[in-house]
Amino acid sequence: MNNRMIWALPRFTIIAGLSVWMTIAVLNNITDQGTNVVHLANMLSMRLLIEDPVFGNGLEWRAWSGSSAQVVLVTVIIWQVLTAFCLWVATFLMGVVAVKEINFTRALVTSNIALSMFIALWLLFMSGGLWFGYWMKQGAIQNVHMTLIIMSIAALIFINQPHELQKSKQ
């Protein structure tokens, strides 16, 4: 195994794994929209907090009414499709780096763009969720978002670790 492959293979594996994960998330959101519409509607309308006599009483003015959950979900799906596409491009480029003598910069830049799109989604979910107080009644969903943020940060740190081969090619 050459130095190029040693450097690129773990990065390829991480990006490929996140590409697969995001692709499955897109497919799930397209084929089972009802599940996320229910969760989004509960969060946006703050129904679970409004029904509670104690939690979130000071936040209830933030509630959205109407059918905005479906619009939010479609927007999320579009972002996820774009993110999955960028992750797959980064996967391809990192795979090419593993087997061919090419500049690493393009694969790194593409990976960073894709991972930034990935983490941006989860940070938006965490911020939006905090705005609507979802942590009080939908904590399991918040835990998923926090886990994905941590995974994103770990992937960004690992992908961007300098390597002798990388330094010599720039």
Specify the pLDDT at position 42: 92
**Domains of the chain, residue spans:** 3-162
- Please tell me the pTM assigned to this model: 0.90
Q: Considering only CA atoms, which of 104, 120, 85 is closest in space to residue 15?
A: 85
Predicted confidence (pLDDT) at residue 169 exceeds the cutoff of 60: no
Per residue in 65-110, pLDDT (tens digit) is: 877 999 999 999 999 999 999 999 999 999 999 888 777 899 999 9
Q: Under a CB-based contact definition with an 8 Å cutoff, are residues 25 and 15 in contact?
A: no
Per residue in 126-160, pLDDT (tens digit) is: 999 999 999 898 889 999 999 999 999 999 999 99
